[in-house]
Structures are given as structure tokens and as C-alpha cells.
A = this chain, B = another copy of it.
Amino acid sequence: MTVTISDIARSVGVSSATVSRVLNSPQIVKEETRIKVLRAMEEHGYIYNALAGGLTRNKTATIGLIIPTITNPIFAISTKGTQNVAKERGYSILLGSTEYSYDVEFDFVSLFYEKRVDGIIFMGAPGHIKSMEFLKKWKIPFVVTWEVLQEKDVNFVAFDNMQIARQVTDYLISLGHRRIAMIAGPPTGTTRAYQRLEGYRHALAAHDLPHNESLIVHKNYTVEDGKEAMSRLLRKKEIPTAVFCGNDILAFGAMAAVKEAGYIVGTDISVVGFDDLDISRVSDPQLTTVHIPAYRMGKMSGDLLISLIEEEVQQPQQYILDSSLVIRKSVGNPSLPRREAGEARIMEGGPGA
């Protein structure tokens, strides 16, 4: 049925060891035999069996990628970055999407280890305690992205969620906003969502603004969630003048709710997103949001993981990339005519890369 190196060996009249050599170290086999072997492979349609190879080498050239959800394009962009380096360096990607469940996360970790991935990339810190224990116990190389960790011994490629969230809030305050709401992820969500919330709180505190928990709405991450959250905020006796959303998707929902209620986004109510999706440049109004280095994180983390696997590099490597607030049209001064800003301006943020 399927042809093996032994078949090739027999047909050429050499040993299977020689056939294996033309695959792995062609230099050390005589050109004449090498050519004969190659030709035989061609003729018989030989296909390498990576399963068998992996078993002896103890190496599969595949990495596991664990992401929160595939349907948010921002994670897709990171995935693309990882996929690109992986392909370039000869690795395949096993994909696992947790839908924000830590149990599912750990399921993937152990499943991936059964399949003997050479390493794992996490978008967001592993949330299940068992995940980290497991990784360390089995010395599985892994890289975390999207979140700065305190541990000095874990590899990450991240940006500072708290710092940029604080910067966004500072910006809104500087425009005169005082009632600033936040539409965040689920209350028991990711640590990076928590960090963003903390950044928001710190900014308010630093400016002696009253901390009003009812201005914080916890939701999931769909457009519909954004709409509902915003509607709820608009039903309050005193509505906020600005809303900081946990991501762009929520912001789109929020903007829709603002319009439906008869307000004008950026004039009556300011909306800020987080992620800077491609489509956020053409929303109406164009969305002021936080640009994060999604593709670069994906690419760098893939590169780093493979370097760890191939032992080109010593642990730990920790990269903190820049993120930045991109000012467009969905934000204005409170209760003043909408700013007719020209070009989008960029405010740099985050420590240097």
C-alpha cells in the first residue's frame, strides 16, 4: 500500500539506513547511490512518514497554538503571524481555541502533549493552574503572548495592557470627560482584561475622579454584547460622556446602540475601542482605538518558540512591544461639537521593544 524506505532500499539494492541518509544527510552518501535512491523514491511515490520519524527523533516539527477564540480577527492576525514563521521554518500548527474556558485550555495542553508537539504558544497567559504545572513538569517549551507576566522564568512577547488602558483613560480625562464608562469582558475573564480595567481605575484615581462601579459593564465579546452594554449605560439617570470598550467588536456594538438611541458618536458620546482592526478605519465614525502589534506578536512568538525548541536561545526571553492610541473620529470633548480632526494622530505608548 504505502511505500516505505525499506521498499525503496530493496528496489535499489541498498540498506534502509542509506535511504534514510539521503533524506537526512545527503552529503555523506555517494552521489551515484543518492541519485538512484532519489529516482526510486520518485518512481514509487515515496512519502515520508513523519509519525515514525517523530517517534525516533522525539521531535515532531509541530507546535500547538492555543487561542481564546478564532472568530475575533485580532487573534486571527496573530495566528497568521505565527503560521507564517512556522511555515518558513518547517513547522506545522495544531490549533486549539478555548472560547475563553480554562478547562478547555488545559484539555488542549494535554492533548497537544499526547501528540508530542515540540512546544506551545498561548495567546494570553495560561489560566488553568494545571496548565503551567504541566508545562514545567514535562519541560515543554512555551511562549505566552498578549500579556506581561511577573514570573521571571517564562518566555513572553507582549504589550502592557494596564499601561495603555491607563493612557486611554488619561486621554479621555484630558478632553474633559468625567463620567467615563468601561465595557469590559466577563468578570471572571482573562488577566489582560483585568489589567485593562486596572489601568482605567488607576487613571480615574490619579485624577481624583469618583469611582463608580455601575459604570463598569461586564459582557462577553460580541457585537450584540456591546450593544446591550451600551444600552444599559444609556438607561442610567446620568449617562456617561465617554465609553472605553474592551475591544473593537464591543465598540461597534456600542456605537450602534448610541446611534439607535439618537445620540451622535463622538459628539454626544465618545467611544474608544481596543485592537485597531482593519475595519475600524472605515467605521462611521472612524473608531479611535488602541493599536496593538498583533501580527508582530504572533510572528515573534513563533520565532522565539522555535528558537527555544531548537535550543538556539536560552530561556527566558521577555519582549514588551509598543502599543499606541490611534485617534480618529469617535471621540470628542464632552458636550461640545465634534472635533473635525484631520489626519489620525498617533500617541506612542508602552515601554520600548
Chain A facing B: main interface SS: helix
A47 proximal to B (CB < 8 A): yes
Q: Which chain B positions have C-beta within 8 A of A79?
A: 70, 95
Does A316 sit within 8 A of B, measured CB to CB? no
Pairwise interchain contact A70-B50, C-beta atoms closer than 8 A: no
Contact of A47 among B49, B110, B223, B279 (CB under 8 A): B110
A222, CB-defined interface residue at 8 Å:
yes
Q: How many residues of chain A are within 8 Å of chain B by beta carbon?
A: 56
For window 71-120 of chain A, which residues contact chain B by CB distance below 8 Å?
A: 71-73, 76-77, 79-80, 83, 87, 92-97, 104, 110-116
Contacting residues of chain A (9-58) with chain B, CB-CB under 8 angstroms: 45, 47-52, 54-55
Interface string of A255-276 (1 = CB under 8 A from B): 1100100000000000000000
| A223 CB to nearest chain B CB (Å) | 5
A197-224 interface (Cβ within 8 A of B)? 222-224
A54 nearest in chain B by CB position: B51
Complex contacts, A72 vs chain B, CB 8 Å = 73
| Chain A interface (Cβ < 8 Å from any Cβ of B) | 2, 45, 47-52, 54-55, 60, 62, 65, 69-73, 76-77, 79-80, 83, 87, 92-97, 104, 110-116, 137-138, 222-224, 227, 249, 252-253, 255-256, 259, 278-279, 281-284
Instruction: List 30 contacting pairs A-B, 8 Å CB cutoff, sorted by A.
Output: A2-B138, A47-B138, A50-B114, A50-B115, A51-B54, A51-B116, A52-B55, A69-B80, A70-B76, A70-B80, A71-B77, A71-B80, A73-B76, A80-B97, A87-B104, A93-B94, A93-B95, A94-B94, A94-B95, A95-B95, A223-B278, A224-B278, A227-B282, A252-B279, A253-B282, A256-B282, A259-B284, A279-B279, A283-B283, A283-B284
